[in-house]
Structure 1
Amino acid sequence: MQLHISTYGTYLHVKDAMFDVRRKGEDGKVINATYSAEKVTHILLATGTMLSTDAVRLAMRHNVDIVFIEQQGDPIGRVWHAKLGSTTKIRKRQLEASLGPDGLRWVRSWLLAKLDNQLGFIRSLKKHRPQHADFLDDKLIRTEALALSINTLASATGSATCVADVADTLRGLEGTAGRLYFETLSYVLPKEYQFNGRSSRPAQDAFNAFLNYGYGMLYGKVEKTLMMAGLDPYVGFLHRDDYNQLSMVYDFIEPYRGWVDEVVFRLFTAKKVNKSHVSEVSGSKTGQSLNTDGKSLLVNAFNEFMDNDPIRYRGRNLVRSHCMQLDAHQFANELIGKTGGLPDLIKL
């Protein structure tokens, strides 16, 4: 199980060789809950919470991962055991995989999952917009062809032996698919919300401003997910290893970008977005960004979508944040030749 401790003032310490979590209830009375160190796999502590050094020692003895996070979930740091256990092996295998055929296999799976999700979203649009059937069919056919090209280029039977052999071509195919996808989203939006392709730093329209902020939130969630699974967020397979670049975050995030797209698209098609949610950006580059009201609207909708709206995933009813964690654990386990599922999560 995972202990997710985020309530302000909650104190984690040790009692009878067990983790003891102490906090005040709404009535002001102290509430205690104890957990066996043998059953806990991860401890997440948000800002405003506390733990004792005895709790740290107990965690280290039982190879329990301790991660410190911001209240919104972005990781701050973690406690490393003097003996890192499987984390060292995971990161070593991650680096080895980045240079060989295993990395290419994972990149292929992530990109194909991303395109498959985009295709699924376009098909769902077609069901409710028969007047756009010809336009949407064209985008579906062209995107399916791009997915086939990615699959062929990066398959085990291809001539490439590592990501570096085909990285530029893969990025080109992915980029073309993205252009078709966002052309589709713009085309079916109400005219007042339509936009001219993806733009960032800054966004040139309200839709892209919402997308940019949403992707930023998702980056933080993916980084935390990778860290919790023992993976290195900086050692990527497809994205370049530039200084301080979270290359694996940018790789691993690909299948999940569609969740941000869906949340933003719903807000716009439901006409919940208006001019009061964005502000003009001035300076060397002009554009638009979310203001306080816009951020509040998106954050609430995105968190609800990620953490309170379960979906059927691999035979289990899981919220989307847990789906990502399950995938990250599977990725880490496969790197070291193990299989495993998602540990239980207890929020405190």
Structure 2
Amino acid sequence: MQLILDTKGLTLAKKNGIFHVFNEKSERVISPGKLTSIAITANVRMEASAVLLAVKHEIPILFFNRIGKVQAKLWNPYFSTIASLRRGQVNFAQLPEATAWILDLFELKTLGQIENLQWIKQHHTSVGWQLSQTINTLKSNNRFEDFRGQILTHCQKNIMGVEGALANVYWTALGKSMPRKFRFNKRSRRPAEDVFNAVLNYLYGMLYSVVEGALFATGLDPQLGLLHADAHTKPTLAFDLIEPFRPWIDHLLITACFEQKLLPSHCSKNQYGIFLNKEGKAFIIPLFNDFLRSNRTFLGQESSNKNHIHFLSGKLAQRIRSVTNP
């Protein structure tokens, strides 16, 4: 479990060998044996005794900025549990279980994409007829199942090929279904070729930071990717874990477009492409922060979107331990 301290004025202290969290209105005690990490997202006070208690029990303390990026970490320099988990992470990549985990992520992603298209079809019936075939195509896909039981390195390119084909189907239908001023022909990254993709790129960038922070908090190495190739200074495992959460960000932007909250003036164009401008960032960043705090039901649990990201990261750590340290 991760302890999240997100209320200004909280104090983290040690009391009778356990953590004591309190302010003027409330208090609670938490056994260090229940915690995997402590996340600081607001201006709080920590007593030295609490920090040393975390060090003793190998509980990392992570400091996040307002968009969820880890700014600093406090932890024991002799973290045996993290070292063991990261060794397991390397071994996990060589097992069919890693392939199964990747396929599970892509199936969750496809379900999210289907939900987005169904939402447009339900709320904007003028384009509904165009989406039915795409929805059926995504629903009927079972090609991922061909790779279960295989080692990831043996089927990596094939998996990405299937995912790329499905993504093309999704983006083509979505681009044609958006309000006229936000329509697009294809998914364009950096530089973006239209307003929708420019804003989406910025939102995905903020989401990457949150996913990377969740992996740090769990004790996993974000740079030891599974499907995505390892690359120095690039959080490749975050590129894997982010997949089921992309459609959530898509939906955030889709609704902002249909509700006419996003404006074309939120982006500017230069010689390289289209980018979110200062006015656009002033709109998008609070929207994203509200998204992180918003609740939804995911995998049978009701919690905030941010907590779901941390939960899925924790589930991966559990999966790695169960397979590599039976």
TM-score, normalization by structure 1: 0.83
Shift of residue 100, structure 1, vs aligned partner: 2.3
Structure 1 unaligned blocks of 5 or more = 26-30, 339-348
Secondary structure of the corresponding residue to residue 241 of structure 1? coil
For 1:180-199, list aligned pairs within 5 A: 180-199=169-188
Aligned counterpart, 1:233:
222
Asked if the contact 1:6/1:71 (under 8 Å) is kept, the reply is: no
Aligned counterpart, 1:208:
197
Shift of residue 265, structure 1, vs aligned partner: 0.5
Aligned counterpart, 1:38:
32
2:123 to 128, 132, 140: 128
For 1:152-171, list aligned pairs within 5 A: 152=146, 154-156=147-149, 161-171=150-160
Name the CA distance, whole Å, in 1 between partners of 2:139 and 2:6: 43
Aligned counterpart, 2:145:
151
Aligned counterpart, 2:303:
318
Aligned counterpart, 2:57:
62
Secondary structure of the corresponding residue to residue 336 of structure 1? helix
Alpha-carbon spacing, 1:315–1:118, altered in 2? closer, same or farther (3 Å): closer
**Larger CA deviation: 40-49 vs 234-243:** 40-49
Name the CA distance, whole Å, in 1 between partners of 2:65 and 2:123: 40
The count of aligned residue pairs is 322
1:305 to 258, 280, 291: 291
Name the CA distance, whole Å, in 1 between partners of 2:22 and 2:303: 28
Aligned-residue CA RMSD (Å) = 2.6
Name the CA distance, whole Å, in 2 between partners of 1:313 and 1:182: 23
For 1:225-304, list aligned pairs within 5 A: 225-282=214-271, 286-304=272-290
Aligned identity (percent) is 26
Name the CA distance, whole Å, in 2 between partners of 1:242 and 1:253: 17
Name the CA distance, whole Å, in 2 between partners of 1:240 and 1:18: 41
Name the CA distance, whole Å, in 1 between partners of 2:277 and 2:163: 31
Shift of residue 307, structure 1, vs aligned partner: 0.9
Name the CA distance, whole Å, in 2 between partners of 1:239 and 1:108: 13
**Larger CA deviation: 35-44 vs 172-181:** 35-44
Shift of residue 20, structure 1, vs aligned partner: 5.0
Secondary structure of the corresponding residue to residue 79 of structure 2? coil
Shift of residue 221, structure 1, vs aligned partner: 0.9
> Of Structure 1 and Structure 2, which has the larger fraction of its residues in helix?
2
Structure 2 unaligned blocks of 5 or more = none
Aligned counterpart, 1:5:
5
Secondary structure of the corresponding residue to residue 115 of structure 1? helix
Shift of residue 249, structure 1, vs aligned partner: 0.2
User: CA offsets, 1:98-122, max 9 Å, x none?
Assistant: 1221211111111121112212222
Name the CA distance, whole Å, in 1 between partners of 2:73 and 2:15: 23
Name the CA distance, whole Å, in 1 between partners of 2:34 and 2:60: 9
Secondary structure of the corresponding residue to residue 35 of structure 1? strand
1:88 aligns with 2:77: no
TM-score, normalization by structure 2: 0.88
Shift of residue 253, structure 1, vs aligned partner: 0.5
User: CA offsets, 1:18-69, max 9 Å, x none?
Assistant: 545577x7xxxxx785634436612223475554543322112233221122
Name the CA distance, whole Å, in 2 between partners of 1:305 and 1:198: 23
User: CA offsets, 1:114-169, max 9 Å, x none?
Assistant: 11221222233223344434421222243345x311222x123xxxx311112112
Shift of residue 252, structure 1, vs aligned partner: 0.6
Shift of residue 314, structure 1, vs aligned partner: 3.9
